[in-house]
Structure 1
Amino acid sequence: MWGTIATWRMAHDGVLKASEALQKNGTAGDAVESLINVVEAYPYYKSVGYGGLPNEEGVVEMDAAFMDGDTLAQGAVGGIHNVMHAVSVARALSHETYNNFRVGDGATKYATLNGFEMTNMLTDRAKARWQKRLKELSNQSLNPYDGHDTVGAVTLATSGSMAAATSTSGLFMKKAGRVGDSPVSGSGFYVDSPIGGAAATGLGEDIMKGCVSYEIVRLMGTGLSPQAACDQAVYDFEAKLKRRYGRVREISVVAMNAQGQWGVATNVEFTFSVATETEAAKILIAHPGPDKTTKIEPITQEWLTAYEKRIKAPI
């Protein structure tokens, strides 16, 4: 059995690429890295990689992580600059005995010294969006934090090995040096090959309060299906956070177990892409349902057409 699941519509082309590799008995690690790389390189995705929206100073700071479900080895970067594929740097760090999580200049220096592709990640389009937001903020009081969708993915290889990875440019107009949940183990991602894996997207400051990805894997380990584990982890935590913290923002998760079964949960409208040995790659949309459940439906062509028009609309 093989399979892969990833957050958001933007991951679909990556899911297709990962699926091709997994069908040919490719490794889980290679598949999840290639999936994330596709998203990182596409300039119209404003929350990941090349074309990602910058911080308030106009600098694109990227966070990424990689985890091997067989060995539990992990690598992560936070606030890395000028690197085309932050997730590839994170994977390389997972092979190191020490210094697995590097940030800022240290992460960027590691990437430079080890031959990773370096480039100016602030595209003209992203710069124009940043300049427009600066002007808007000078004229009126607006919430600058817009566009923080992480691409997170889990892969299952025919060998039974699993991997998980994430990549994001974080909150638009964030403070310099801000890091969210995406590169944080147990919050943005977690995978354990005999059980399964999970990845999260949403407001990192809230997701980190619950270690949601680890909780999903833990629940799957008790025998819950991926869907039941996602529902219980997300909706119980949402209720707890509302009660204890007073509010909760966007939280969405995807998960897959060692048998290729998958699940998602969300407290907002959430799209994702999934493919398995028995299911062709597809984009689905999820909404919070009644009684701590998730409603999942096929995406419509009208939605896809509107999405493509929106992400490519003039600034």
Structure 2
Amino acid sequence: MLHRRHFLKMGTLGVSSLPFLSMASRKQPAGNKPIVISTWNEGIAANKAAWEILGKGGRALDAVEAGVRVTEDSINCCVGLGANPDRDGHVTLDASIMDEHGNCGSVAFLERIKHPISVARRVMEKTPHVMLVGEGAQRFAVAEGFPLEADKLSADAEASYKEWLKKSEYKPVVNIENTGHGPFAPARLSNGDLNHDTIGMVALDAAGNFGGSCTTSGMGFKMRGRLGDSPIIGAGLFVDNEVGAATSSGLGEEVIKVCGTHLVVELMRQGYSPEKACKLAVERIVKRNKGNVKDIQVGFLAINKAGEYGAFAIQKGFTYAVCTGENKNEMVASKYFI
């Protein structure tokens, strides 16, 4: 039986159709107005939930948690328990969250818990730690009142897994996260699956504070135990309230190797625009790979203190959603290196 006594108690710790914007320079409308941006076409629904909080003057941290919970709830996009499993047939989830004070929480290799992003927030707010993993993360989640879900694959994931087992080949596919429709929707894999795995979200609230979140099932059919960039602070997500916030999507191993989102924020600190900072981070990955990136996709997405936002990717096809109002929630096609 699981008990709360297993965990350190830190009571004193304080703390329709989607129009596409042009690829011109982008800036939030003048004035201290909130904004939320998130990766891929699934960001439209996630932004809507986040805006329900931001539009009422709410905190960015609350908004980015609520926003990506929508994606975790969706079986169709395969972020969360409906996702494709690892090569052993188990779904494992990772998530991270960060607030305007530099506090952060993360979970990794979490099984049978529907909302890893909310568990990550509990780690941030109720423990002296930043990251909990595996069985320990699950035990903490259950002790905090999160239901332990059935250990069963969704129908789509089970079909994909059976198809994958015929060859058992693992190879990341460029832009596979994009599950939307329209001109930026990808072709399906040979088994009919889309294998979406990540959503990252960053927001600036009316008080001028940032929050960020990232949640993922990881790459489908990965080696058991594999972690990407999403639960790693400074890789898949980074927030600095003096400067801005950034998140990423794509091949997590490449993001980890350059501490990608921390790099983007530090470049913004030097005075680069969000788009330029994302571009320079992408170029760092390209250079590290000596230009051999035709099979690699990484996209960075960022926002600065002035409300300017932008993105850049290695390959064409990275999209993100921008919301600045109840009826201003639009898709954007990122600029790209290739």
1:207-218 superposed matches below 5 A = 207-218=255-266
1:3-28 C-alpha deviation (Å, 9 max, x unpaired): 11101001210101112211110111
Q: Which amino acid is the alignment partner of residue 170 of structure 2?
A: N
- 1:192 maps to 2:240: yes
Q: Which amino acid is the alignment partner of residue 95 of structure 2?
A: A
Distance 1:289 1:205, change over 3 A: closer
The 1-side partners of 2:327 and 2:277 are apart by 21
- The SS at the match of 2:42 is helix
The 1-side partners of 2:322 and 2:159 are apart by 33
Match of 2:56 in 1: 24
User: Of residues 281, 286, 295 in structure 2, which corresponds to 1:239?
Assistant: 286
Match of 2:304 in 1: 257
User: Of residues 275, 285, 289 in structure 1, which corresponds to 2:333?
Assistant: 285
Match of 1:143 in 2: 170
1:119-198 superposed matches below 5 A = 119-120=149-150, 122-137=153-168, 142-145=169-172, 147=195, 149-198=197-246
Distance 1:149 1:250, change over 3 A: farther
Q: Which amino acid is the alignment partner of residue 129 of structure 2?
A: N
Q: Kindly report the root-mean-square deviation, in angstroms, between the aligned alpha carbons of the 2 structures.
A: 2.1
The 1-side partners of 2:291 and 2:329 are apart by 39
1:159-206 C-alpha deviation (Å, 9 max, x unpaired): 111111100000111111111111111110101112110001111111
Q: Percent of pairs identical after alignment?
A: 33
Q: Which amino acid is the alignment partner of residue 230 of structure 1?
A: C
Q: Which amino acid is the alignment partner of residue 41 of structure 1?
A: D
Q: Which amino acid is the alignment partner of residue 19 of structure 1?
A: W
Higher helix share: 1
Deviation at 1:248, TM superposition (A): 6.9
Deviation at 1:90, TM superposition (A): 0.4
The 2-side partners of 1:231 and 1:62 are apart by 29
Structure 1 stretches (4+) deviating beyond 3 angstroms? Answer: 142-149, 244-248
- The SS at the match of 1:9 is coil
Deviation at 1:118, TM superposition (A): 3.0
User: Of residues 94, 97, 110 in structure 2, which corresponds to 1:63?
Assistant: 94
The 2-side partners of 1:75 and 1:13 are apart by 24
1:220-266 C-alpha deviation (Å, 9 max, x unpaired): 1122211121112212x133222299887211011111222101000
Q: Does the Cα contact within 8 Å between 2:278 and 2:301 map onto a contact in 1?
A: yes
User: Of residues 97, 106, 118 in structure 2, which corresponds to 1:76?
Assistant: 106
Q: So what's the TM-score if we normalise by structure 1?
A: 0.84
Match of 1:117 in 2: 147
The 1-side partners of 2:74 and 2:111 are apart by 17
The 2-side partners of 1:164 and 1:73 are apart by 11
User: Of residues 53, 63, 70 in structure 1, which corresponds to 2:84?
Assistant: 53
- 1:219 maps to 2:267: yes
- Structure 1 residues not aligned, in runs of 5+: 291-315
Q: Which amino acid is the alignment partner of residue 289 of structure 2?
A: K
- The SS at the match of 2:247 is strand
Match of 1:297 in 2: none
1:16-63 C-alpha deviation (Å, 9 max, x unpaired): 1112211110111110001110000000012x1131110011100001
Deviation at 1:97, TM superposition (A): 4.7
- The SS at the match of 2:257 is coil
- The SS at the match of 1:256 is strand
Q: Which amino acid is the alignment partner of residue 117 of structure 1?
A: P
Deviation at 1:271, TM superposition (A): 1.3
Number of matched residues? 283
The 1-side partners of 2:156 and 2:127 are apart by 39
- Structure 2 residues not aligned, in runs of 5+: 1-32, 174-194
Q: So what's the TM-score if we normalise by structure 2?
A: 0.79
Match of 2:17 in 1: none
Q: Which amino acid is the alignment partner of residue 127 of structure 1?
A: E
Q: Does the Cα contact within 8 Å between 2:92 and 2:217 map onto a contact in 1?
A: yes
Match of 1:302 in 2: none
